[in-house]
Chain A
Amino acid sequence: MSIQYGEQTSHAYQQQELAAHFAQRFQHLAQNIERVIRGKREAVELALICLLAEGHLLVEDVPGTGKTTLARSLAASVDALYRRIQFTPDLLPSDITGVSIFNQAHQRFEFHQGPVFANIVLGDEINRASPKTQAALLEVMEERRVTVDAEPHAVPRPFLVVATQNPVDMDGTYPLPEAQLDRFLMKISVGYPDHQHEVEVLKGMPSGPPVEQLPVVARAADVAGMIDFATRIFVADPVYDYIVAIVAATRHSPYTKLGASPRASLALLRAARVKAAAAGRHFVIPEDIKALAIPVIAHRLLLTADAELNDRTAPDVLGEILAGVPVPQAA
């Protein structure tokens, strides 16, 4: 969107230009990933927003819908270190974070980094690992560092954990606790492709390269710059009020046992800033909030037994809340 009507200061004009540049790069990244994950623009954009908002992404879907491919495509599009961890019941915390080993030559313990030390970490089937191992991700997801033997070890920037889980076939799995769910910025599902795109997949994707052949369209430093820019996107007071009103409504809804936390408000704000920049705006509008509310908040809600008996899901409840909370109106 070009904004030519304001009597803007040079700073505002610069911000507007930068937002347009941000949007261009964002679209470039999204189009690149879409060459592999076809017909899933929304999921791709949400994953990118997660990356640029410095959040973590939980992808829940049935097997074979492209969860892992999405993470791999994202990593392949950015010139960044990518690691994959296959979560299994016998996986130990040190298998993720790393371990200190005594070096006899130097007569000291040396820390050997685990696979979590990467820009993009794919935690495949995260709910198959024990709670103890899942908890090993907690510190690094929130604080972006690993503490081993009282020694903190920072992970590189950008840092994104993409975890996947399967909603069916729950035997032998350990559902993620609320504390850990709350640390994921978004929870999305990829979904089945539509008819046309599934036909293309069957034909061997003649128009698109495999993940390994995807060109790198951004460096890690570029992504870090985009992250920094997004934090400077302007948010008007009524938009803050709108976010708080939505989150507060989740706490007072008769269908929720546990509403969204202030962490959810912060997450929604971060994501909305990225979405605004991705749209070429240097300010957030309620549309950004509304579009992101369900992926950012829904997985943090605990529903009442009544809601579940009435077949209401968290996105349903949140949808009703969004339909009832007034958007900030003109004074």
Chain B
Amino acid sequence: MRTPLGLLVVALLSAAAGWAFHRVFPAPDLLLVVAPAAVVPPLLALLLRARPLWLSLLGGVVLWFAATVPLYRGLPLGLPADLADSWQALLTTLLPAQPEPRLLVLVHTLVWIASTVAAETLVRTRARLAPAVPAIVVYGVAVLLGVDGEGENLTTGAAVLVLCALLATVRDERPVSWLLALIPVIALAAYATGPLLPIAAEPYNPRQHAELPPPKRVDGVSPLDRVSAWLQVPTRPLFTVKADRPQNWRLAVLDRYDGVRWTSGARFQPTGGRVPQGEWGGAAEIVRQEIVFDGLPGAWLPAAERPSEVEGVPGLIVDPDSGALLASEQPARGFTYRVTSRLAKPGRQDLLDARPAAEPELLLFPPGPQEQLFRRLAQRATEGADAPIKQAYRLQKYLRENAKNDLTAPPGHSLKGLEFFLETTHRGTSEQFASVFALMARTLGLPSRVVVGFRPGAERDGRYHVMSGDVVAWAEIKFEGLGWRPFYPTPGKSGAKDDHDVVSQAIEESQQLEGEFTQGTTDKPQQSKGGADSTESTPGDGGPWWVPIPVALAALYGLVALMLPWWRRRRRRAAADAGGRVLGAWQQTCDDLGVRRQRALTAEEVVARQPDQVVRHLKPLADLSNVARYAPGDMAGAAADEAWRHSDAVRRAVRGSTPLKARLKRRLLLK
């Protein structure tokens, strides 16, 4: 009976270890993979335990392969290659990963191997804890691979620990109180020392060492090149958005400029839908959108800044730095997906304190004489600004006031063209305004990039209908701690304010803030990110909610460990009949001597192992216990009293010869 029970624990242990991948894969898909891999090998080991090991292993391999057939929904012809590539694929995927067979097969195989090794070890050896080792290894792998994912490993870790203790108990009749006692001790030690570890602030992440794919050229035509064309044909429907509130919909982010074109240096990574949070961790506004494709060309996926969750896009890849979304192939008309975005809402002090990020590649200016012109004009525009944010606002204001938004202006954003725009025409579209702003900002030491997106569009039937004429380009500057902040240097058409114009609202806000800054009404930098006006909950000041639990468990354990021997002794001394009291005295003495666990020892053998000063009292007590247990008839009360006198004498002798530290240790370990 003990072997089937042990195998059941092995199956649960393997399942718990496999479940630790819940930070890597969505739960329903993970369950379908982990359950058979955890259960089948123990069953097989039980059935074939009397057969040779090779037969069991061969059967395991056959069943493992058979179990991959439903996973792949067919013959897994590419199984070896998938297994070889899955590590690299998982390490370069943003979590949660897409539940694709080529990735899930890794979990399936790891759990299967762990379950097989554990089950065969259990049925073919007498090892007590060795069967738990494979599951612990799998758990470790899962924790490492899931360090970036959402959720926590505390529950699965606790489950693995408890199941290990259970396995040790099942494997041996002796209770494993030392192991059970270890659970709260480990929890307490982890709680006390965990924050002091160097990796506590930033857990080790194997993805840091993974070689990411090279920058991907995602589209033959740069979205910035399309801006003028779309503006010429403004009525072409591109997509519709159902959202909580109107926003500018970002399409592409371009951060590299070679003097002719803006391109993207994004390193896109696959993801199951989660997009890593940007640099800003403070107050934010959540916007949910449902976007339906109409005639938007290319594989870029529009969304409000900054996406945190994407649903409904198979093969989604994302640039973790910019948050730009890309489908693996051109979406068809009617393609629908949902995005949850997080709009940073830094406070006034946060903006004032902001310092430009130290990223030299975002300050690169193409070689040529134009740099001097851009720098001179930028310095003139920002004269008197004593903070980077003020420089950016003044630059924005300068462009909005000294140039006109003209849809008929010639397209292009080459350096020569932008120079002509700045010096001569002062007319252009958002393509030129955003480009010029970004380059002028770079001359001031403000790291910048260009974003192509759309205005919210016209609202109809509860949806925002975005047309080609809604296209707009704007610039962004990266600040330390704040991340990317948008700036809209393009003035409105004919000075009019568009419906749902986020740009106009942003300009008004910036003008208001810039005015306050100029008037010197700001306080000195004090406030940190995420002020009192946060609209999203931030981690509480009192630490995680579960923190008191291990402390309470440890306190409870300590109380039980201290009180249990006293209660047990009292109960034994107060047994109803004399025989029971004699046997209680013997048990108590065995506890005091630390031989309670050695259940195969007879009373005579217990006596033979003790020193002389103990034997003097122990031998008569052993004889009494033998009479009480194995002789016919009842014991007299005097015998019970004498038994307890001997027991007390042995206890005194043991206490006298055992150091306090050893006694305390024995008590805490419930020995």
Q: Is B461 part of the binding interface, using a Cβ–Cβ cutoff of 8 Å?
A: no
A282: which B residues are within 8 A, CB to CB?
A: 631
A326 & B600 in contact (Cβ 8 Å cutoff): yes
B587 & A7 in contact (Cβ 8 Å cutoff): no
A327 & B642 in contact (Cβ 8 Å cutoff): no
Question: How far apart are B630's CB and chain A's nearest CB, in angstroms?
Answer: 4
B631 & A234 in contact (Cβ 8 Å cutoff): yes
A87: which B residues are within 8 A, CB to CB?
A: none
CA of A8 to CA of B631, assembled, Å: 10
A327 & B634 in contact (Cβ 8 Å cutoff): no
Please, which residue of chain B has its CB at the minimum distance from the CB of A328?
B629
B627: which A residues are within 8 A, CB to CB?
A: 3, 5-6, 283
Within 8 A of B (CB), among A278-318: 281-287, 290
Q: Per-position contact with A for B571-601: 1 when CB-CB < 8 Å, else 0?
A: 0000000000001101100000000000111
Please, which residue of chain B has its CB at the minimum distance from the CB of A324?
B600
Q: Is A207 part of the binding interface, using a Cβ–Cβ cutoff of 8 Å?
A: no
Q: Give chain B's interface secondary structure class.
A: helix
B600 & A322 in contact (Cβ 8 Å cutoff): yes
Within 8 A of B (CB), among A167-184: none
B642: which A residues are within 8 A, CB to CB?
A: 5
Within 8 A of A (CB), among B595-643: 599-605, 623-636, 638-639, 642
Of A3, A5, A329, the residue contacting B599 (CB under 8 A) is: A329
CA of A7 to CA of B630, assembled, Å: 15
B599 & A6 in contact (Cβ 8 Å cutoff): no
Q: Is A105 part of the binding interface, using a Cβ–Cβ cutoff of 8 Å?
A: no
A284: which B residues are within 8 A, CB to CB?
A: 630
B602 & A5 in contact (Cβ 8 Å cutoff): no
8 nearest CB pairs, A to B? A5-B639, A330-B583, A326-B599, A283-B631, A287-B602, A287-B604, A236-B630, A285-B626
B632 & A5 in contact (Cβ 8 Å cutoff): no
Q: A234-B631, A284-B630 are in contact. Are A5 and B638 (CB under 8 A)?
A: yes
CA of A281 to CA of B603, assembled, Å: 15
Q: A5-B635, A287-B603, A325-B600 are in contact. Are A330 and B629 (CB under 8 A)?
A: yes
CA of A238 to CA of B627, assembled, Å: 13
Question: How far apart are B618's CB and chain A's nearest CB, in angstroms?
Answer: 14
B601: which A residues are within 8 A, CB to CB?
A: 327
Q: Is B523 part of the binding interface, using a Cβ–Cβ cutoff of 8 Å?
A: no
CA of A325 to CA of B173, assembled, Å: 10
A6 & B634 in contact (Cβ 8 Å cutoff): yes
Q: Per-position contact with B for A1-38: 1 when CB-CB < 8 Å, else 0?
A: 10101111100100000000000000000000000000
Category for how many chain A residues contact B: 20 to 34
Q: Is A202 part of the binding interface, using a Cβ–Cβ cutoff of 8 Å?
A: no
New contact pairs (13) apart from A5-B636, A238-B630, A284-B630, CB-CB < 8 Å: A5-B627, A5-B635, A6-B639, A7-B633, A9-B633, A12-B632, A283-B627, A283-B630, A285-B604, A326-B599, A326-B600, A329-B599, A330-B587
Question: How far apart are A309's CB and chain B's nearest CB, in angstroms?
Answer: 17
A1: which B residues are within 8 A, CB to CB?
A: 623
CA of A284 to CA of B602, assembled, Å: 12
Please, which residue of chain A has its CB at the minimum distance from the CB of B586?
A330
Q: Is A323 part of the binding interface, using a Cβ–Cβ cutoff of 8 Å?
A: yes
B584: which A residues are within 8 A, CB to CB?
A: 330
Q: Is A101 part of the binding interface, using a Cβ–Cβ cutoff of 8 Å?
A: no
B625 & A330 in contact (Cβ 8 Å cutoff): yes
Of A234, A290, A327, the residue contacting B632 (CB under 8 A) is: A234
Please, which residue of chain B has its CB at the minimum distance from the CB of A322?
B600
Of B173, B604, B629, B635, the residue contacting A6 (CB under 8 A) is: B635
A326: which B residues are within 8 A, CB to CB?
A: 173, 599-600
Q: Is A331 part of the binding interface, using a Cβ–Cβ cutoff of 8 Å?
A: yes
B602 & A7 in contact (Cβ 8 Å cutoff): no
Question: How far apart are B33's CB and chain A's nearest CB, in angstroms?
Answer: 36
Question: How far apart are A290's CB and chain B's nearest CB, in angstroms?
Answer: 6
Within 8 A of A (CB), among B86-101: none
Question: How far apart are B610's CB and chain A's nearest CB, in angstroms?
Answer: 15
B639: which A residues are within 8 A, CB to CB?
A: 5-6
CA of A331 to CA of B575, assembled, Å: 11
Q: Is A239 part of the binding interface, using a Cβ–Cβ cutoff of 8 Å?
A: yes
B630 & A331 in contact (Cβ 8 Å cutoff): no
B626: which A residues are within 8 A, CB to CB?
A: 285, 287
CA of A75 to CA of B551, assembled, Å: 75
Please, which residue of chain B has its CB at the minimum distance from the CB of A290?
B602
B602 & A285 in contact (Cβ 8 Å cutoff): yes
Question: How far apart are A1's CB and chain B's nearest CB, in angstroms?
Answer: 6
A7 & B632 in contact (Cβ 8 Å cutoff): no
Please, which residue of chain A has its CB at the minimum distance from the CB of B173?
A326
B583 & A331 in contact (Cβ 8 Å cutoff): yes
Q: A5-B627, A7-B636, A330-B583 are in contact. Are A285 and B599 (CB under 8 A)?
A: no
B634 & A287 in contact (Cβ 8 Å cutoff): no
Question: How far apart are A265's CB and chain B's nearest CB, in angstroms?
Answer: 18
Would you mind naming 6 contact pairs between A and B with Cβ atoms under 8 Å apart? A1-B623, A5-B627, A6-B635, A7-B636, A283-B630, A285-B603
B638: which A residues are within 8 A, CB to CB?
A: 5
Q: A285-B602, A325-B600, A327-B600 are in contact. Are A6 and B636 (CB under 8 A)?
A: yes
Within 8 A of A (CB), among B373-409: none
CA of A322 to CA of B635, assembled, Å: 29
Please, which residue of chain B has its CB at the minimum distance from the CB of A254?
B126
CA of A328 to CA of B634, assembled, Å: 18
Q: A238-B630, A282-B631, A328-B629 are in contact. Are A5 and B624 (CB under 8 A)?
A: yes
A331: which B residues are within 8 A, CB to CB?
A: 583
Please, which residue of chain B has its CB at the minimum distance from the CB of A331?
B583
B602: which A residues are within 8 A, CB to CB?
A: 285-287, 290, 327
Please, which residue of chain B has its CB at the minimum distance from the CB of A329?
B599
CA of A8 to CA of B634, assembled, Å: 7
Q: A5-B642, A330-B583, A330-B587 are in contact. Are A323 and B600 (CB under 8 A)?
A: yes
CA of A286 to CA of B602, assembled, Å: 6
Q: A326-B173, A330-B587, A331-B583 are in contact. Are A285 and B630 (CB under 8 A)?
A: yes
A330: which B residues are within 8 A, CB to CB?
A: 583-584, 586-587, 625, 628-629
